Structure 1
Amino acid sequence: MRLSLAIALFLVSAATIGANAAPQAKAKKPQANRAVQMVTVSGECNKLVHAGQPVEGCKNILVNMNYSTGVSAYRFVTDRNILSFAGSGSHHIEQGADIVVQSVNRIILAATDGSKAEDAKEDDAVGFCRFGDPTQKGAIIECLAHAQAGLYEGSFVTDGMPPKFGEFPVSSR
């Protein structure tokens, strides 16, 4: 069975972070939820729904953020908002050779107008993201979650271009 590129890289990153997390002589504050990796894929966003309402203007990029806490989030972007479907990267199953389903337990809606991160709206949710190999043209990445405000949904088709990766250093301070 093959994992998608994003999950494979997340697992490698998690193993590296775990190896670097040796016990310290002096107790320190727990690390905040910090981004450790960003994977951006290009293609076509063909559906976006916020709280049951269709949203126009979804950008032709999809961003997968992986955090120091093990959370993985898929971000659908418009000119006004970023809708993130977030869940534990370790809670996933493989459906065949190239399809992975990851659980989603949180929806985050943030404005793109320069608002502060703490102004983002977060809601508990029940749902999933299903994705194939993002390096394959026509691979589908779809997320669906139910929250108190209603249904959130995003669907994206990759163009086969190689994903772009960004690594963020995780400080031990």
Structure 2
Amino acid sequence: MLTRILTVLLLLGLSCTVEAHAQPLTRNVLKGACEKLVIAGKDVSPTCGDSLVNMVQGRRTSFDFTSSDGTTVSFSGTGMPQDRQEEVGVDALQPVSAVILTVKAADGGITRDTLMTVGSCRFPASAPGRSTVACAADTQRGRFEGTFVTASDAAAGK
């Protein structure tokens, strides 16, 4: 009986490992300008970096905003189909269920907090050659927001 239980647990563990490896991570780095970054209700826009990272793994997707002090705010959702919101002037809306706050301490240590939320990332209409990602979510630690604008090389005159 004990052998059967151990065998079942081993097989379950292997199936979970195979499932985790079956979903590769896709990481896209977008260059442009961060227009807004609010962390726990505090506007830190001047510290926001010039790149936005979009990661997709399985059904989960995130948009990661980084400040110059090493703090990262990830707006993460299940990757549910985006809802078209044409009637309110927004092309699409990506639901967000968590904000992941990663803070780098002066001693090099890293703390990571996952804050459950209901929020969204919007993709409003932009000028040709440009795209905008605007995320917002309210958590128990306050409001988090990030707005990032990309520009193609052609639009930037390169």
TM-score (norm 1): 0.66
Of residues 137, 141, 147, the one that matches 1:145 is 137
Cα root mean square deviation, aligned:
2.9
Which of 1 and 2 has greater Rg? Answer: 2
Question: Is the 8 Å Cα contact of residues 38 and 64 (structure 1) preserved in structure 2?
Answer: yes
Q: How does 1:129-140 map to 2 (within 5 A)?
A: 129-131=121-123, 136-140=128-132
Deviates more, 1:29-38 or 1:48-57: 29-38
Q: State the AA in 2 paired with 1:43.
A: G
Distance 1:82 1:132 in 2: 23
What's the counterpart of residue 58 of structure 1? 48
Distance 2:113 2:15 in 1: 26
Question: Is the 8 Å Cα contact of residues 42 and 161 (structure 1) preserved in structure 2?
Answer: no
Distance 1:35 1:110 in 2: 22
Q: Which runs of 5+ in 2 are unaligned?
A: 1-10
TM-score (norm 2): 0.72
| 2:49 counterpart SS class | coil
Higher helix proportion: 2
Q: How far did residue 138 of structure 1 move?
A: 3.2
* Identical-residue share of aligned pairs (%): 30
Distance 1:99 1:142 in 2: 12
What's the counterpart of residue 89 of structure 1? 79
Question: Is the 8 Å Cα contact of residues 41 and 161 (structure 1) preserved in structure 2?
Answer: no
Q: Does 1:159 align with 2:128?
A: no
Give the number of equivalent residue pairs. 134
Higher relative contact order (CA 8 A, sep 6+): 1
Distance 2:24 2:65 in 1: 17
Distance 1:108 1:137 in 2: 30
Distance 2:78 2:153 in 1: 26
Q: State the AA in 1 paired with 2:51.
A: I
Residues 39-80 of structure 1, C-alpha deviations (whole Å, 9 max, x = no match): 111111010001110013101111110013x11000001122
Q: State the AA in 1 paired with 2:26.
A: Q
Q: 1:65 to 1:115 in 2, by over 3 A?
A: farther
Higher strand proportion: 2
Distance 1:35 1:112 in 2: 27
Q: Does 1:78 align with 2:70?
A: no
